[in-house]
Structures are given as C-alpha cells and as structure tokens.
Chain A
Amino acid sequence: MIQEILIDLFGNEIVAFIISAALPLVFIVPFVIFAVWLERKVSAHMQDRLGPMRVGWHGVLQTVADFIKLVQKEDIIAADADKKMFILAPIMVFAGSYAAYAAFPFSSAYIGSGVDVGIFFVIAISSVVVAGLLMAGWASNNKYSLYGAMRSAAQIVSYEIPTALVILSIVMVTGTLSLAEMSELQAGGFWNWQIFGGAETGLVKILLIPFMIIAFIIFYISSLAEVNRTPFDMPEAESELVSGYHTEYSGMKFSIFFLAEYANMFAVSAIAAILFFGGYQSPFGYIGDLLGIDWLVPFEQLFWFAMKGLFFVFVQMWLRWTLPRVRVDQLMTICWKYLIPYAFVNLIIIGLITLI
C-alpha cells in the first residue's frame, strides 16, 4: 500500500521503491538507540545498580552521545589485516540482517516485499550474515577474531535446523510461507494467535495449544543462539575471546556491527511475534475501527508489531543477565541431542493434528 502511495507521490517506480526499501532503516536506527540504552538499564537494575543516569532523563540520550563519540573515533585497520575484506565484512553483515526486514509485515499497509516465500527468504538470507562474520574473523588476522567467527558460524548453522523445523510445523498449520498471510490468518483477538492454536476451532485448537507452546520454546531457544545472545554468546565470550569477531574493529565499523547485532535481535523477536503471537494484529481490537477512523488502524498495527518485538527483545536481555554462558560442547549437545529430536517429534505431532 505504501509503495502505491509513494509511486503516486513521486511518479517514478525506481525512486518510490528505493524510498520504500529505506523505510525499515527509519525504524531500526531509533530502535537500536533505544535498545542499547534499555540493555544497559536492564543489566544495571538486575545487578542493583542505576546504569547510565547523566545524559538526559535517566540517561535516555546516553546512546546518542556514545554514537557521536564512536563516529569521531579514528578508523583503525590493523597493518596485517586483509584491508578489502576488513572493510567489506561489516557491510555484508548489516546487509544480511537488513535484507531480512524486507519480508516483515510491519503493518497491513507496509511490507517491503510481499514475496510468497517470505519466511523461507528470511532463513536463507541469514546465511549472508554468516559469510560476513567469517569474513570479519578471517580478515582481522587475529586468532581471537577467527575463533569468534568460527564459533559463531558453527552455532548459527547448527541452530538453523531446529528453527527451520519449528517454522515448518507452523507452515503446515497455516499452509503459507508468506509472513503477511500468516499475520492475516491470526486476526481477531489474541485467542486466534498461533500459540493458542490459531484460527482453528474445537478439538484441533485445544490439541494444538501444548505443542505450539513447545514449538515456541524450541524456537526461542534456537533464535537466542542464532543471534549469539547469552546463554549462547560463545562467539563474543568477553572473558575468553576479548570480544570475538569484532575485536579488531573500531569507530564506525564497530558501530555497524553493533547495529547489525541489535537489528538481528529485533528480527528474530519479530519472527517469533509473527509466527506465534499474531504479528501486527492487536490482541483486543482497534481504536480506529471503534471510532471509524480507517487510517488509524495501520498505525495501531505498527504499534503492536513494535511492542511485541520489543517485548521479546526485553526477554532476551532479561535472560542475558540471568543465565550463565554454556560451554561449546553443551551448546552442541543442546542443539543436536535435545532441540532437533524434540522439534522433529513436535513437527510430526502437529502434522497429525492438522490432519484431524
């Protein structure tokens, strides 16, 4: 819908599509600024500290100040680093995480690309991030960076399997790969959300609920691993690897990595929200519908989408400051010996239920 408005406004397809493609950036940058502050506040309060307090109200503008500081920093490229790939790596990582936003329905009025293979595209494009991380680790010519990149890639590649299996079970229930259609199917209140059995009725709905909850838990655990968050943050493990693949990066390039990391956090949270919690659908109903103001509804939907995403980002932070880090062998055990078999069994059961 926004694409059509933009084409009308500019009278040119190319300009309209470029602007439409840049819109998620308008969302990501303020989100990252807010999320970094939130992370510091959450960690501080969990440890009985105050966290940033000086810049703005309760330190709200701390991240803005930090960002201005980062921009001013000298851009250091180590003498033995592979210069071309060192510069290309942060761009690849961010491009990969940004590309995933193309398939997200922010509201019923805006989706970057209404491709029919939405969720499949999101899984596939994350491999560009992996390649970018490996590139960063290798180009830095530093063993800690390389270890971090290797761990990260191994982790993302293995945890893609349980994620894909859970997504497959949702696809079986909804019968579509498109994220916009999935959100559309969960309209009409929170009891129609996929976690509560979707828009099915009767026995099927009741039978689906426990398995949907299991599916969600598996999905959430593996999505934590995919974005390298604690308890799966071995790639960055400060106490052993300095800070993993971005050890050698400074200034602007470092902040691009940071931006990509937080964009990824929101991306997986948004996928969780779309798959299980109704996407942009409001849990109760729309004020716009109540008052008869049509244009208000898409904005409300954007609000709900952002809120659901933010909530899961908050849970990620909460877990980060609660749980200790797992070891590499435990990481692989969790994935291959627990999550994948459970996901498989869950997939079969959900498949059987949908046949009823």
Chain B
Amino acid sequence: MGLYDIIFYLFALVTVSSAVVVVSAKNIIYSAFSLLFTLFGVAGMYVLLGSDFIAIVQLMVYVGGILILLIFGVMLTNKVTNVEIKSGSIQLLPALIGVVVLAVLLIMLMTNTNWHIQPGVIPQTTTKELGKLLLTDYVLVFELLGILLLIALVGAASIARREE
C-alpha cells in the first residue's frame, strides 16, 4: 500500500463517517458542520484523481458558499441561544424500502457495466484545458449558466425588496 492509497482511505474514511453523522445526528447544527467534512473529503478525492481545479471549486462553492449559507440559515431561523434544533426519524419503513431499492440498483449498475478502464495519465494541470473547453466547445452552456445565475440573483433581490 503506497502513500496515495493511505491518503485515499483517509479521505474515504472522513467522507463516509461524516456523511453518516450528517444523516444520523439529532442536532441540525451537527449535521451542517459534518457536511463540511464530507465536502472536504470529496475535494480530497478530486485531488487524488488529478483534477485540482475541480477540487478547489468544490471547496470554494460548496464549503465557502453553500455550506456557510446553510449554517447561517440554520442559526438564524432557529432559537439561537437554546439548543432546540432537533431532527427525528419518521417514516422508517418507506425510507428503508427506498434505500434498499437504490442500493440494489447502484450495485447492479456497478457490477454489470462494462467499465472502460485504461491506465490513468494524471495531467499536470487542468486549469488551462478546462478554460479552453469552456470558451470553445461548451461556450453556449457556459453562457446559459451565467444567465441562469444572473436571473437567480435578480429574483432573490426582487423577493427580498418586495415589501417596500
């Protein structure tokens, strides 16, 4: 087992164990903060796969943006001084059925697919190539996503200002 295997299992452990806490914690704040470690672990996986840019974007967007917003939301919408932010388990049977079906499907997919395996060549850097692709082959999607984000921004501002 080489250095990279050890690092992979470390990240896998962090990701999976914190993901378990996310779904099982009674306190929503715990779930929110555990999600941080899950996202962080996934970023680590990306680094090991040689996609440095995606890993940093993962950190930036999910940890820096969405997660902080989530924590803010949880903190501001609940009683902040008392720990009364609880989440319980309901609908156990339907959830169990759903999980089992999904798990079986995923395992079937994993075992039955004819995976295209080739020795991985880890690129030195992905930023330049990604930038080129985004502005040539995928420029339409890229621009559309930009417009979508702009619409979301304008929409949020108009909702926030409606009462005036």
Chain B residues with CB below 8 A from A115, complex form:
52
Instruction: Tell me, yes or no, whether A116 is within 8 Å of chain B by CB.
Output: yes
Q: Is A131 in contact with B3, judged by CB distance below 8 angstroms?
A: no
Distance in Å: Cβ of B131 to nearest Cβ of chain A: 10
Which of the 9-residue segments A118-126, A184-192, A287-295, A314-322 touches chain B? A118-126
Shortest Cβ gap from A287 to chain B (Å): 34
Partner of B68, one of A13, A85, A127, A143: A127
Interface positions, chain A 124-144, Cβ under 8 Å from B, are: 124-128, 130-131, 134-135, 138, 141, 143
Name the contact of A116 in the complex, choosing from B57, B67, B75, B124 (C-beta under 8 A): B124
User: How would you classify the secondary structure of chain B's contact residues: helix, strand, loop or mixed?
Assistant: helix
Asked if residues A13 and B3 are in contact (CB atoms below 8 Å), the reply is yes
Query: Do the beta carbons of A134 and B71 come within 8 Å of each other?
Result: yes
Q: Which of B6, B64, B83 has the most CB of A within 10 A?
A: B64
| Cβ-Cβ contact count across A and B, 8 Å cutoff | 74
Known: A116-B52, A120-B56, A131-B36. A143 touches B81 (CB 8 A): yes
In the complex, the answer to whether B59 meets A127 with C-beta atoms within 8 Å is yes
Interface size of B in residues (CB-CB distance below 8 Å): 27
A153 to B72, CA, bound (A): 9
Q: Which residues of B contact A (CB under 8 A)?
A: 3, 6, 29-30, 33, 36, 40, 52-53, 56-57, 59-60, 63-65, 67-68, 71-72, 75, 80-81, 83, 124-125, 127
Q: Are B63 and A127 in contact (CB under 8 A)?
A: yes
> Hey, which chain B residues are within 8 Å of A17, CB to CB?
3
User: What is A's interface to B at a CB cutoff of 8 Å?
Assistant: 13-14, 17, 82, 85, 115-117, 120-121, 123-128, 130-131, 134-135, 138, 141, 143, 146, 150, 153, 157, 160, 177
Output the least CB separation between B150 and chain A (Å): 14
